[in-house]
Amino acid sequence: MSATMEVMALTIDGVLAGKAVEFTRPGSRSAIAKSRLEGRQPVTLLGILGDEQGDLRVHGGPDKAIHHYPADHYARWRDDIGAHPLLDAPGAFGENISTHGMTEDAICLGDRFRLGTALVEVSQSRQPCWKLSDRFAVSDMARRVQESGRTGWYYRVLEEGEVQAGDRMTLEARPHPTWPLARLIELLYRRSPEPALLRDVLLLPLVPSWRTLFERRLAQGAIEDWGKRLTGASSHA
């Protein structure tokens, strides 16, 4: 299984950022509500300048500097959950970058893109949490995102620069063409833990948390319970 390099360049439809505010549950904060930014925006090693995260234990940082969510998925979500005001404009899923023309089956782990003048690298897919369910007021929205594979993904920033809506996003390198994110998402959430496949995935440049997860899965032969992340049970994250 491989993703070709047919998608060489895209136009960035929106650049978005948000401020951390009190959220839906006691003690929780979130910056999932993102707004469009006009004009050129500095891209730092920690993401779009001025963008915030509500819980730095699980969000933000160099390996989750920028969140990209395909606008292509919005129509599918309308089919799934019906008309929803959050789906009327980019930012529903807390994304920093919105585009049309590229989804998880066409982008690979480690892909490097020129994002405006910055250089970014695909670091991991998103692991949705309960905050999406609360944001949409759909009790199982986080689980729907996970099971659909329409998760979006994160970039780390290799070279700082600037970006604005209307800029081109150009693929510069694809070192792992047999590992589109759709394949990794399938392995992460739905496939039985086949030892040979797990050994293969451990050869990839995984973020530390994913490496730990797959090493543990190889040792234990079982897929993890995602319930706490998806529902927020006993969590004030």
d(CA 152, CA 217): 23
Average pLDDT of every residue of the chain: 93
d(CA 87, CA 7): 25
Q: First-to-last CA distance in the chain?
A: 36
Which residue ranges make up each domain of the chain? 9-176, 191-223
CATH architecture of 9-176: Beta Barrel (2.40)
Q: Record the pTM.
A: 0.94
d(CA 179, CA 158): 20
The per-residue pLDDT for 56 is 80
pLDDT in tens, 67-102: 999 999 999 999 999 999 999 999 999 999 999 999
Question: Is 107 in contact with 78 (CB distance < 8 Å)?
Answer: no
- The rounded percent of the chain whose pLDDT value lies above 70 is 95
Please provide the DSSP assignment of 184-234 as one string.
HHHHHHTS---HHHHHHHTTS---HHHHHHHHHHHHH--PPP-HHHHH-TT
The Cα-based distances of 230 to 127, 139, 208 in angstroms read: 9, 10, 21
Categorize the per-residue pLDDT at 6 as very low, low, confident or very high, splitting at 50, 70 and 90.
low
pLDDT in tens, 142-185: 999 999 999 999 999 999 999 999 999 999 999 999 999 999 99
Question: Is 15 in contact with 115 (CB distance < 8 Å)?
Answer: no
Position of tokens 């963008």?
Answer: 51
